[in-house]
């Protein structure tokens, strides 16, 4: 059952409501799978194995089809899926039931900026915020609210956002458009090729500033889809998926490749978590 709460502040939220199936289909493509599965693999490095995970509560913020939340539920966590789109939540609910984890999933319709009001302070041990900040009006506000619903300094936040440098690489290497690549070097937004409309772009510096401004301590950085989008046509993304995934895992954890990935991923915790150091 989907609980409702308030009006969304997500830009062009109707793009997700009107055709959730299109987004679900994209996530089944090699590109979509890589984005989802790489980000989850990076997050899993920082999570306890069962049975430790079974004691944790998780929030999948802007859950979409529920892929990350379902992955956490499979680890034994109790997971809340939050999304502003009822159509996305219905799709996520079906996916959770098909995955056999429906009893570990709670659904909540609402805005990403409302999380503290919806759930209260210190409610979650794990928060997933993947490809959400591109669409909200005030990403800093969202992260500040997220910080307040994290249980303590041991809680972990995973953020994935679109990289400005990745747009320049895409324009130059995939489209061969050098003028567009040069424009992307300073662009604050890019065209969403799936639904249309604009999405916000981030640099590593701007995203780190937002995280630190929310009181987060960055534990590690990972690049997502470093080279997969630019491989020559003779390499089948579907047939060579496992090899590409393995290569992306190696590239994504190296700082020199992180800066040019299509997506930036940060794993962060409360201020005291900084004492652990960066992996």
Note the pLDDT tens digit of each residue in 213-258: 999 999 999 999 999 999 998 999 999 999 999 999 999 999 999 9
Range of the domain at 57: 2-163+198-268
Name which residue leads in pLDDT, 8 or 206. Answer: 206
Tell me if 279 is assigned to some domain. Answer: no
Residue 159 pLDDT greater than 60, yes or no: yes
Provide the CATH number for the domain around residue 77.
3.40.50.150
Tell me if 84 is assigned to some domain. Answer: yes
Residue 36 pLDDT greater than 80, yes or no: yes
Closest by CA position to 158, among listed 220, 80, 113: 220
Tell me if 274 is assigned to some domain. Answer: no
> Are 228 and 222 within 8 A, CB to CB?
no
Tell me if 70 is assigned to some domain. Answer: yes
How many domains in the chain? 1
Mapping DSSP onto H, E and C, the string for 203-249 reads CHHHHHHHHHHCCCEEEEEEEECCCHHHCCCCCCCCCCHHHHHHHHH
Residue 83 Cα distances to 30, 106, 189, 211, 225, angstroms: 24, 12, 22, 21, 25
Cα–Cα distance, 205 to 277 (Å, whole number): 19
Q: What percent of the chain has pLDDT over 70?
A: 90
What pLDDT score was predicted for residue 12? 47
pLDDT mean over 31-53: 92
Task: Quickly state the pLDDT bin for 197 (edges 50, 70, 90).
Answer: confident
Tell me if 34 is assigned to some domain. Answer: yes
Residue 151 pLDDT greater than 80, yes or no: yes
Cα–Cα distance, 3 to 259 (Å, whole number): 39
What pLDDT score was predicted for residue 13? 52
Task: Quickly state the pLDDT bin for 276 (edges 50, 70, 90).
Answer: very low
What pLDDT score was predicted for residue 188? 95
Tell me if 47 is assigned to some domain. Answer: yes
Tell me if 124 is assigned to some domain. Answer: yes
- Its pTM stands at 0.90
pLDDT mean over 171-176: 92
Tell me if 79 is assigned to some domain. Answer: yes
């Amino acid at each position: 059952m989907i609980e409702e709460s308030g009006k969304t502040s997500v830009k062009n939220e109707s793009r997700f409501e009107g055709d959730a199936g299109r987004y679900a289909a994209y996530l089944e493509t090699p590109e979509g799978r890589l984005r989802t599965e790489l980000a989850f693999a990076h997050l899993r490095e920082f999570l306890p194995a069962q049975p430790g995970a079974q004691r944790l509560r998780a929030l999948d913020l802007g859950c979409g089809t529920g892929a990350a939340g379902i992955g956490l539920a499979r680890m034994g966590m109790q997971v809340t899926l939050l999304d502003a789109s009822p159509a996305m939540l219905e799709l996520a609910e079906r996916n959770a039931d098909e995955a056999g984890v429906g009893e570990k999933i709670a659904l909540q319709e609402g805005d990403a900026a409302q999380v503290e009001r919806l759930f209260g302070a210190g409610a979650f041990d794990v928060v997933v915020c993947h490809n959400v900040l591109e669409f909200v009006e005030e990403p800093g506000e969202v992260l500040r609210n997220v910080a307040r619903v994290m249980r303590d300094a041991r809680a972990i936040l995973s953020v994935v956002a679109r990289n400005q440098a990745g747009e320049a690489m895409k324009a130059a290497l995939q489209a061969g458009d050098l003028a567009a690549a040069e424009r992307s070097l300073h662009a604050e937004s890019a065209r969403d090729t799936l639904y249309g409309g604009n999405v916000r772009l981030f640099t590593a510096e701007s995203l780190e500033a937002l995280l630190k401004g929310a009181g987060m301590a960055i534990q590690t950085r990972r690049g997502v889809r470093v080279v997969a989008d630019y491989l020559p046509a003779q390499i089948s993304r579907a047939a060579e998926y496992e090899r590409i995934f393995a290569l992306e895992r190696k590239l994504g954890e190296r700082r020199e490749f992180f800066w040019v990935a299509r997506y930036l991923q940060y794993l962060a915790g409360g201020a005291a978590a900084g004492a652990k150091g960066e992996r």
